Structure 1
Amino acid sequence: MATKYERYPTVSISKTVSVYPKIIHPQKVLNLSNLDRQCPTLMYLVFFYDNPNLLSCDGYKSCNDLSLNSVFNSLKSGLEETLSMWYPAAGRLSLNPNDGKLNLWCNNKGAVLVEATSQVKISDLGDLTQYNEFYEKLVFKPDFDGNDFPRMPLVVGQVTKFGCGGYSIGIGTSHSLFDGPSAYSFLSAWASNSAINTKQTSHDHHQLLITPVHDRATLLTLGNYNSQSGVNNSLLISKIDHVITAANNSNRNNQYDVPQMKARGSVGAAAIDHLLQLLIQASTNGGNIASSSNIFNQKYCSFVFKTFHLSSSLIENLKREVFKDGGFSCSSFEVLAALLWKARTKAMGLRKEAMVCLQFAVDTRNKVAPPLPAGFSGNAYVLASVALAAGELERIRHKAIVEKIRQAKDSVNNDYVKSYMEGVQGPRQASLPPLRELTLVSDWTRMPFHNINFFSSRATHVSPLVPPIPQIAYFMQNPNDDRAVDVRIGLLPDNLDAFCSYFLAAIAQ
């Protein structure tokens, strides 16, 4: 059945070029950490900018007649300059033939930049904060079969000029190359190096002063840590595969093998312990765990993405309400994560005795010993985890949930990161199915992507596209209020109305 977005005219690509570093570096292999290898796919953002020719001349805004060709050439020259310092971004992922692990081959193969046009006006897209399938046409998606890593560029960009004179810049960066903060620094450097800006702001100069550090030595040392707990952590990924396989078979031996794994010991990282327990729970209770990629893709295509706008005043009221009886204060993230977890779990209609889990990303740059250097450009996030019975989660107050979230966050230290990295160790990553019992949250509020000035003003809006894990909830800074939060979450249609009802009721308390 045709979607409502198919009424839009197609996006026409007029130019596709490879972009190489201005300064060529000697080729070398950059060893990746286990955190880099978790998700070797492109993560996409689409930046929207109003017609730059309508902006007034106020000292830094351009009033020149910018053509698509001049914008494209400016982005290209800026990317050439940026790749000179961020040279791994011009490389390719490569499988080590000895252990099957991914590393980064810094071979100067370059990025890809595309020029495109559309007759659509940005105003035709409606509320830009609500995900729109048309956004998928505003990024360049290279052909990739999941295995041919040497052919896959790590950075791709597409500049599209709309019928109204506005622009979008859709950018994909490999998650094996960058996490959120390092992607933010890379894109800020690219914007600062592009000649579209007639005058750089102090923020841009600050980004230029940050020298990226590409070496993963500290995390590689942690990843080589040998546990004395008796658990063979290198087999945890295969254990997850075994749980999934056992859950999808009906023979008695496999049903017996699954619960045995729980008794083999804990790895010390709660996120991985809890994930294994959720998979075991789903298998032993007759759950249908979809290890087949075809089944997963069917579910993936069904997800609906909804954004909720939470003003700064509303968030402050929520924090006061949660702690009206006194005690410590909490962050916006903690209170919103508590409300979302409770609302989503209730919307799933789970058994009260079922184990449910909230997992959220924690930046470890200052949590490992020694701390990662300023400008570290790789992945430095691990997942923290809270687990409760569904009935208990529904019963306890939000204050108690916030306290558990804070405890989980505080538990992430050097030893936790060591255990986590062991837990995700392996020649490849397991393909995890979507679990109704698992709520995932990623906090982007400290990465205001809309402030990245590819033109002479900040973006009207920046939208992430569908992520590899579609049910994840993003907390994003609102472009018009830096203390407000936009919450975007992916849900299956059967759960959408219930979640909206419970979540809106929670924030209206």
Structure 2
Amino acid sequence: MASSLSSSSSSSLKFTVRRCEPQLVAPAIPTPHELKLLSDIDDQEALRFHSPAIQIYGKQASMAEKDPVEVIRKALSQTLVFYYPLAGRVREGPHRKLMVECTGEGAMFIEADADVTLHEFGDSLQPPFPCFHELLYHVPGSQQITNTPLLLVQVTRLKCGGFILAFSINHTMCDGTGISQFMNTWAKMARGSTKPSIPPVWCRELLMARHPPRITCNHREYEHVPDTITSTENMVQRSFFFGPSQIAAIRLLVPTHLQHCTTFDIITACFWRCRTKALQIEADKEVRMIVIVNGRARFNPPLPVGYYGNAIAFPAAVTTAGKLCENPFGYAVELIKKVKGVVTEEYMHSVADLMVIKDRCMFTTVRSCLISDLTRGRFREVNFGWGEAVYGGVAQAGIGSFLGGTCQMLHKNAKGEEGIVLPIWLPAKAMNRFAKELENMFGNQNHTTIRSPTFIMATL
């Protein structure tokens, strides 16, 4: 199957991906056949999708005799012995309750080859990867939430000796922390380990709704807001790089009493403000920034080390577009800093109860954006034996079908600078306005790496 890609220099890169028939990779030894309930945090509507990711590796002379397909496939089989629920299938019971039947059927695995070198992909690998549909073939039915493999993997060898590992995982099974834990175990198995350094922990009962369920906290992230937006303008995706100079420039706008805020806080506030301005939202309309918060450490005692289920909350900072855009930058930073602090053990229990009471509802998407901090996942450092990835992390912006979602990931740009990459979706005209607003935040210096993408998006 041929894929045609356009580079920023307007030259055209064409290559062919040849895939073998998909096969199931089962655990290396028999595993328990049992039914395990997912938690009431796991099975909410917002997490019922397959989360795609991509790991890109260059050639390693020391691994010249090793086939990455065989190494990764064997390590996956060994890893599924310990993470055997991921070799099962999700089922839906009464009241939309999700559970995992641990059948041991396995993950879906695709072996592939591409007649292209890593060098030909360009020197700034970051989302969007519109060639992703070639690098991770969506086996028919594989995007369903129930009764289908929970993990879809494709390993594509490159002509230069490098390879690309692309996969998607059913988000009801794991959050970002859980995926990182699973991937690191998988990589260590590929390098010769025989057991996980952090044993996986199920314990989903810790995040089940109480009896009777009771909503005890204010959850503005789940408020119903009428949708009056009818625009069908073409959406485009770009990534923006925040290196040391960009982050320093934004910090100059932060007032003294907020100088201890995190880099995540200031990039999130910057994104929210620039996006709201770019979308030209009416001043009196409410806007939301939903911040994904890892709740593991908010429990007393904390959730067990090795817990790989979803332990996240979606608290929302809410204000009007006018206040967000007209107040000094510190206003937005303070809202972000404050909303992260609302997540407590009680808040997590309240969310679980809300899911049962409100039929596992979706968070508010109208005039909302959402952001996750994936910097601690350190996906680029996942080493299957071929060293650090050239790129490791999400394959695209968005969370499921919600294009207002994004994440912050560690990234090294073409100049070798370490920073944060932020992939986003916006309508085409709004994307241009966003880029200008961002330049203004940097003091009108052209410091952004605004991707005139090495790859042009072919489909949404």
Which of these residues, 13, 23, 26, is aligned with residue 19 of structure 2? Answer: 13
Correspondence 1:216 to 2:204: yes
Aligned CA distance change for structure 1 residues 497 and 223 (closer, same or farther; 3 Å): farther
Instruction: Note the 1:133-282 alignment, pairs <5 A.
Output: 133-144=130-141, 149-150=146-147, 152-194=148-190, 197=191, 208-220=196-208, 222-224=209-211, 226-227=213-214, 268-273=218-223, 276=224, 279-280=225-226, 282=227
Q: TM-score by structure 1 length? A: 0.78
Aligned CA distance change for structure 1 residues 10 and 395 (closer, same or farther; 3 Å): same
Amino acid at match of 2:54: V
Quick check: 1:225–1:418 contact (8 Å CA) kept in 2?
no
**1:148 shift after superposition:** 7.2
Instruction: Note the 1:333-352 alignment, pairs <5 A.
Output: 333-352=264-283
Aligned CA distance change for structure 1 residues 114 and 219 (closer, same or farther; 3 Å): same
**1:223 shift after superposition:** 4.9
Match of 1:504 in 2: 439
State the secondary structure of the residue aligned to 1:103: strand
Distance in 2 (CA, whole Å) between partners of 1:134 and 1:418 is 41
Distance in 2 (CA, whole Å) between partners of 1:104 and 1:482 is 43
> Which of structures 1 and 2 has the bigger CA Rg?
1
**1:130 shift after superposition:** 3.9
Distance in 1 (CA, whole Å) between partners of 2:127 and 2:215 is 48
Amino acid at match of 1:312: P
Match of 2:447 in 1: none
Distance in 1 (CA, whole Å) between partners of 2:439 and 2:221 is 28
Task: Choose between structure 1 and 2 for higher RCO, CA contacts under 8 A separated by at least 6 residues.
Answer: 2
Distance in 1 (CA, whole Å) between partners of 2:281 and 2:92 is 41
State the secondary structure of the residue aligned to 1:338: helix
Distance in 2 (CA, whole Å) between partners of 1:451 and 1:101 is 36
**1:425 shift after superposition:** 3.2
**Percent identity between the aligned chains?**
23
Quick check: 1:355–1:389 contact (8 Å CA) kept in 2?
yes
Q: TM-score by structure 2 length? A: 0.85
Match of 1:30 in 2: 36
Structure with the larger strand share: 2
Amino acid at match of 2:206: T
How many residues get paired?
429
Aligned CA distance change for structure 1 residues 224 and 289 (closer, same or farther; 3 Å): farther
Correspondence 1:47 to 2:35: no
Quick check: 1:368–1:414 contact (8 Å CA) kept in 2?
yes
Distance in 2 (CA, whole Å) between partners of 1:37 and 1:109 is 22
Quick check: 1:92–1:105 contact (8 Å CA) kept in 2?
yes
**1:144 shift after superposition:** 2.0
Amino acid at match of 1:76: R
Distance in 1 (CA, whole Å) between partners of 2:342 and 2:132 is 38
Listed one character per residue, the Cα deviations across residues 448-491 of structure 1 (whole Å, up to 9, x for unaligned) are 10100123311011242344122212111124779621111111
RMSD: 2.7
Aligned CA distance change for structure 1 residues 379 and 337 (closer, same or farther; 3 Å): same
Which of these residues, 369, 372, 376, is aligned with residue 446 of structure 1? Answer: 376
State the secondary structure of the residue aligned to 1:26: coil
**1:374 shift after superposition:** 0.8
Q: What runs of 5+ residues in structure 2 fail to find an aligned partner?
A: 7-11, 445-460
State the secondary structure of the residue aligned to 1:375: coil
State the secondary structure of the residue aligned to 2:76: helix
State the secondary structure of the residue aligned to 1:169: strand
Listed one character per residue, the Cα deviations across residues 423-457 of structure 1 (whole Å, up to 9, x for unaligned) are 3336965577853x212111111111010012331
Match of 1:114 in 2: 110
**1:333 shift after superposition:** 0.6
Quick check: 2:17–2:134 contact (8 Å CA) kept in 1?
yes
Correspondence 1:488 to 2:423: yes
Quick check: 1:367–1:412 contact (8 Å CA) kept in 2?
yes
Amino acid at match of 2:220: A
Amino acid at match of 1:37: D
Quick check: 2:187–2:383 contact (8 Å CA) kept in 1?
yes
Amino acid at match of 1:72: V
Aligned CA distance change for structure 1 residues 495 and 138 (closer, same or farther; 3 Å): same
Distance in 1 (CA, whole Å) between partners of 2:16 and 2:64 is 28
**1:123 shift after superposition:** 2.5
